[in-house]
Structure 1
């Protein structure tokens, strides 16, 4: 095996030249994805756009992947160090790309194109994973369980946010569908013959609301009622809702779930309804980003003009949940947040979706692609870190631990 080069600066310049060469194509991709949002597991056009761009650039393409129709793997290079770049594909119901997955995908592809240009010199294999259904479907969890990340030594992605943050406080989460089944009756003529499924849901909501004051810090419960009857003069025979249970760690989530389930059971007991609780997705874990990779990300993002005043001031990282967290428990991984000018809006709001195109979004796309690729170059050319990654050793930043300090430049 040829020695790994030490001159990262030369390689980074080549990466930047390549990303600059593809800039208009990447921006066009992000805009096309934004204009044509698709929901979880149905991201066929998004998958085609991303996979087609990489195949045209010479990447070896495998699709569908791991039994998921819209997932794909695109690979370039044959080095011993394999890096996985995650390109999220799905949008949110009603508000489209209000979490910036159009930028996530384009940044991942930009980083991959840049790294492919130096794959031989860094002895790397560059893999892009098109990952469906982050918004509640657990696409990465399924890909992880089915072996799509096998052979990868590190995994990276970057996520848009209203400001630059090194990482998030990623909460473990369960997604549940709750269904009550009762019996219809005329609400005026014979209400005593009915078993009210809508009331069962109300009882459960009240019980959850009362329980919230006794939950551990960081535990959250929230949901929506999808149906609770068709007409006001008919006792509802069925009521359904979707709920999310969140906690700081997997262990805390396991302790939370039976307490919330008892609230749903209370609704069934009080009304006489039948209760079904069904998982809608695999459990998302808490996140443990790799300390060394996060340190390299920060240095490279700062070289592009990004700054982290909130992190340096010790402000609490923002809370969210992602299936990238499960990946971080399996191999070294990072999920930094890159700022866009959202005019005060936050993710999952229509105004944030609107901000995911335009000059600020374009800058975040390019900066994200470069910082991701440069982080890999630094990791690949650092003998000690490269050896650790090849050995499959994680160095996780545990929840609540201090974040990497900034550069003094």
Structure 2
């Protein structure tokens, strides 16, 4: 079958598709919430999400999907599929937790909502001319699981891709939900040890290099654009006070909404690290510690139906200017496949993400409601894109025009 073989006039009407998708979510509601609560109670960090992956894969198999754990060379990645239509909807599910504070970014909400959306779309797959894929994507917090899966071909057959992220406060329009690119790297300084009291003049102090560099970065911040963020921590800086530190390690990151701006800011930050080496007499090296996360691009043909779905579900998303912050490897997916990554509010939550407060909020009745609404909203957005003739034709034409391997190209080592 080619990408344009299905006659849109033969497909299920959108209203019927939405009703059946919502019915499927509600039929699975107890199971979806049980999955969320089990993930929340048993957090696993990046690349160690073995129980989470098995939990989701079992649910998908029970829903009639073929599901594989250990897909695309990652032991905790999932690939699950249902249907044979030419319009391939790829739903993403994240399930990694944060060290020490569990699901403080609400990835249990993301996973359960993604599971629900996939099951909802499976209920209409044959009559909507779609194939439903769920990709379980490990290591979003650190590690870039989606980037690794992209390079392994996980999105080569995708027409569109969707996921949702829980958060505190109120609902915002998908168009206004953005993320920063982030580049994370490690700086290592090597000096020469010496007795700090008896022969300090014989040493080359690697901690001095880090101190000079971090001071220079602090001064540089005044000269950086307001949309740039940079941060660094010393992870190794010496062992005892009476030995000149011969080796220090600094973990650093630079963020921006614009890749060119990020590249320039990183260049200037690296100059500060070089200054530390020059001032102290140390040698130094730098290496990227994980794949770069790229900025989000929200696809209008999916974002509009998502916004409409939230209104229909009684959530009434608001428009804002400059809503931003944080980074996600879904940004990399959105650069090569039409995608959305909206937020869904845990109503009543006032705790910031990545805190113990939001970890607690991610397993409340408000979080449960967010899961069900998000699952329905994602399914409705995908159904709208697949069943509106102009939208379907546009998205399939873009997929057909995409060169083979276009989603798999690794990043340049900038």
Normalised by the size of structure 1, how large is the TM-score? 0.92
| Residues 237, 230 of structure 1: alpha-carbon distance in 2 compared, 3 angstrom cutoff | same
CA drift at 1:5 = 2.6
Which residues in structure 2 correspond to 1:109-124 (within 5 Å)? 109-124=115-130
2:88 aligned with 1:82, yes or no?
A: yes
From 180, 187, 199, the counterpart of 1:178: 187
Alignment match of 1:338 (pick from 299, 322, 344) = 344
User: Mean alpha-carbon deviation: is it higher for 264-273 or for 122-131?
Assistant: 264-273
What CA distance in whole angstroms lies between the structure 2 residues aligned with 1:294 and 1:376?
10
Between the two proteins, the alignment pairs up a number of residues equal to: 391
Spell out structure 1 runs of 4+ moving beyond 6 A. none
2:235 corresponds in structure 1 to 226
Partner residue of 1:368 out of 356, 368, 374: 374
The structure 1 residue matched to 2:255, chosen from 246, 251, 271, is 246
- Matched position secondary structure for 2:398: coil
Contact 1:181 1:197 in 2 (8 A): yes
Which residue does 1:400 correspond to in 2?
A: none
The residue that corresponds to 1:68 in the other structure is 74
2:397 corresponds to: 391
Q: Partners in 2 of 1:87 and 1:337 — Cα distance?
A: 14
Alpha-carbon distance in 1 for matches of 2:249, 2:283: 12
TM-score by length of 2: 0.91
- For 1:299, the equivalent position in structure 2 comes to 308
Equivalence for 1:290? 299
Structure 1 unaligned blocks of 5 or more:
395-409
Q: Is contact 2:93-2:115 (8 Å) kept?
A: yes
* Aligned pair partner of 1:236 in 233, 240, 245: 245
CA separation of 1:250 and 1:141: change in aligned 2, threshold 3 A: same
Shift of 1:87: 0.4
Tell me, yes or no, if the aligned pair for 2:178 and 2:297 is still in contact at 8 Å.
Answer: no
Q: Work out the CA distance in 2 between the residues paired with 1:375 and 1:184.
A: 61
The CA deviation at 1:376 is 1.2
Q: 2: CA distance between counterparts of 1:4 and 1:177?
A: 55
Post-superposition CA distance 1:175-219 (Å, at most 9, x none): 111221222222222222222222211111100000001012311
Secondary structure of the residue that 1:169 maps to in structure 2? coil
Runs (5+) with no aligned partner, structure 2: 1-5, 401-414
Q: Does the aligned pair in 1 maintain the 2:185–2:252 contact within 8 Å?
A: yes
Give deviations 1:113-171, integer Å, cap 9, x for gaps: 11111111111100000101111211111111221101110000000111312243311
State yes or no: 1:13 paired with 2:19. Answer: yes
Q: In the alignment, does 2:325 pair up with 1:319? A: yes
Distance 1:152 1:393 in 2: 8
